[in-house]
Amino acid sequence: MDRKEYLKCLFGNTTALQEAMRESLASATGEHAHIGKYASFKTYMRKYNVLVKEAAPLLPNTALLDAFKLDSIKSSGEYTWPKQKELFDSVLANVAMLRAVLENAIGYAEDETQKLKYFIQANLRRAIFTEPLKELEVQNGVETLLVGRGMAKGIDYDRETGRVKTSGKESVPDFIFPNLKLCMEVKLSKSKDDLRNIVDGINADIRAYSTQYERQLHVVYDLSTIRDEDEFRKDIESAVGVSVIIVKH
């Protein structure tokens, strides 16, 4: 297994560890849920240490990564629950940092953005059963695809959040993907007038969203208004980190 593939494997294991810790927190409910909720901190420390040890030789910069000195950490029964929480939170923060470092090392966000782009391009038309009258119908079709792909709202993506304020104007992306530093806008083009307004809107969105997101994906669902797709894409995609998908009905 080459370096990048092994880093991808470590990234998957780190993500699984992060999700297990989050699930551990979410599963504890009730008035006294905090008692024992954080008691597994040392187990997670041990697993995190294994991942850091494996990843460190393959990473160009490990200054942000720390390993826990397990010999100096007592068992959970020796600590009050607030101290257990402090230790648990420390592990969770370090796991998140390790994941971020691995993401950068393997180009995760860029790879996943490209996969998402191709996925929507290939499947959106099949998710729209009748000619849409409103943009909302296309947005709902996109969300159906995201859910079908196994993405969870509020974790992998969110909708109508991530407000951006520039020059006194507020803009809200249709979808955001926090882990990918990506926002997505969905447009419906029904006429030549729509198309002109869409181009103006996309250009305004690019300026606004580039202040907060590294990547932008603009999806245009076209009812036979775009004659030259390459020409339409060319000027828009000249902006760094910006991609356009055109889906014909």
- The region, left, alpha or beta by phi > 0 then psi within -120 to 50, assigned to residue 3 is alpha
Over the stretch 14-64, which tens digit does the pLDDT of each residue have? 999 999 998 888 776 655 556 678 899 999 999 999 999 999 999 988 888
Q: Provide the pLDDT confidence category of residue 194 given band limits of 50, 70 and 90.
A: confident
The helix/strand/coil state of 138 is: helix
Burial class (CB in 10 A: 0-12, 13-18, 19+), 109: middle
pLDDT at 119: 96
Over the stretch 207-239, which tens digit does the pLDDT of each residue have? 889 989 999 999 999 998 898 888 888 888 888
CA-to-CA dists, residue 172 to 39, 63, 127, 166, angstroms: 40, 36, 24, 11
Please provide residue 190's backbone torsions phi and psi, each rounded to the nearest 5 degrees: -105, -15
Over the stretch 171-181, which tens digit does the pLDDT of each residue have? 889 999 998 99
Share of the chain above pLDDT 90, in %: 59
Share of the chain above pLDDT 70, in %: 95
Region 105-121: what's the mean pLDDT?
Answer: 91
Of 138, 116, 117, 135, nearest to 127 by C-alpha is 138
Region 104-118: what's the mean pLDDT?
Answer: 89
Give the Cα separation of 248 and 128 in Å (integer): 11
Give the Cα separation of 97 and 187 in Å (integer): 35
CA-to-CA dists, residue 12 to 2, 9, 43, angstroms: 16, 5, 18
Residue 220 structure tokens: 């245009």
Decide which of 163 and 25 is more confident. Answer: 25
Q: Is the pLDDT of residue 168 over 90?
A: no
Residue 197 structure tokens: 């307004």
For residue 14, which amino acid is it?
T
Q: Is the pLDDT of residue 96 over 60?
A: yes
Task: Quote the Cα angle for 196-223-194, to 5°.
Answer: 20
Task: Count the neighbouring beta carbons within 10 Å of the beta carbon of residue 204.
Answer: 13
Over the stretch 61-89, which tens digit does the pLDDT of each residue have? 888 898 999 999 999 989 998 899 999 99
Q: Is the pLDDT of residue 167 over 70?
A: no
Task: Count the neighbouring beta carbons within 10 Å of the beta carbon of residue 144.
Answer: 14
Give the Cα separation of 160 and 175 in Å (integer): 6
Q: What is the DSSP string of 9-44?
A: HHHHHHHHHHHHHHHHHHH--STTTTTTTTTTHHHH
Q: Provide the pLDDT confidence category of residue 142 given band limits of 50, 70 and 90.
A: very high
- The runs of H, that is alpha helices, within 39-107 are 41-55, 81-106
Decide which of 161 and 148 is more confident. Answer: 148
pLDDT at 236: 87
